Structure 1
Amino acid sequence: MGCDGGTIPKRHELVKGPKKVEKVDKNAELAAKWKYCALSQERLRRPIVACDLGRLYNKDAVIEYLLDKSAERPNAEAVVHIRGIKDIKELNLTDNPEWEGERRNAKGDRYEDMHCGMFICPVVGLEMNGKHRFCYLQSCGCVFSDRAMKEVKTEICHKCGDPFKEDDVIVLNGTKEEVEKLRERMEEKRSKAKTKKSKKSKAAETVSTPSETKDDTESLRDDVAEKSSLQNGDESSQSGVAGPSGSSSSSKATKTSTSSAAKRSLQDMDGRSEAFKSLFTTHSSAKRTKAQTSNWVTHTPYHF
Structure 2
Amino acid sequence: MGNDGGTIPTRQEILNFSLKKLGNTSNASSNSATTISKLLNSYKYCALSNNKLESPIISDAYGKLYNKEAVLLDLIENKHNDVKNKDFTSINDFVTLKIDIKHNHLNCIVSNTSIDLNNDNPKDLKLSDIQFSYIVPCGCTMNTKILKGLISSDHEIIKCPSCSNPFRSSDIIDINSQDEKVKEVLKERLNRLLQSGFYHNLKKIKPKKKHKIKQDSIPTKRIKNSS
1:141 aligned to which of 117, 139, 142: 139
Closer, same or farther: CA 71–40 of 1 in aligned 2, 3 Å: farther
Closer, same or farther: CA 158–39 of 1 in aligned 2, 3 Å: same
Instruction: Give the aligned CA root-mean-square deviation in angstroms.
Output: 3.3
2:39/2:176 contact within 8 Å kept: no
The corresponding residue for 2:107 is 120
Output aligned runs, 1:1-304, within 5 Å: 29-69=38-78, 80-95=86-101, 99=102, 101=103, 117-127=104-114, 129=117, 131=127, 132-153=130-151, 155-175=158-178, 176-193=180-197
Shift of 1:81: 2.3
Task: Tell me how many residue pairs correspond in the alignment.
Answer: 151
Closer, same or farther: CA 71–185 of 1 in aligned 2, 3 Å: same
Specify the structure having the higher radius of gyration (Cα).
1
Closer, same or farther: CA 62–141 of 1 in aligned 2, 3 Å: same
When the two structures are superposed, what TM-score results if normalisation uses the length of structure 2? 0.57
When the two structures are superposed, what TM-score results if normalisation uses the length of structure 1? 0.44
Listed one character per residue, the Cα deviations across residues 237-295 of structure 1 (whole Å, up to 9, x for unaligned) are xxxxxxxxxxxxxxxxxxxxxxxxxxxxxxxxxxxxxxxxxxxxxxxxxxxxxxxxxxx
- 2:80 and 2:105 map into 1 onto residues whose CA distance is 31
2:106/2:114 contact within 8 Å kept: yes
Shift of 1:25: 5.5
What amino acid does structure 2 have at the position aligned with 1:93? I
Larger strand share, 1 or 2: 2
- 2:54 and 2:161 map into 1 onto residues whose CA distance is 24
Greater relative contact order, per chain length (Cα 8 Å cut-off, separation 6+): 2
Larger helix share, 1 or 2: 1
SS at match of 1:83: coil
What amino acid does structure 1 have at the position aligned with 2:145? R
- 2:181 and 2:150 map into 1 onto residues whose CA distance is 25
1:126/1:145 contact within 8 Å kept: no
- Using the aligned pairs only, state the percent identity: 28
SS at match of 1:68: helix
What amino acid does structure 1 have at the position aligned with 2:197? A
1:135/1:144 contact within 8 Å kept: yes
Shift of 1:57: 0.4
- 1:54 and 1:28 map into 2 onto residues whose CA distance is 17
Structure 1: gaps of 5 or more residues: 1-23, 73-78, 102-116, 199-304
Structure 2: gaps of 5 or more residues: 1-32, 118-125, 152-156, 199-203, 207-227
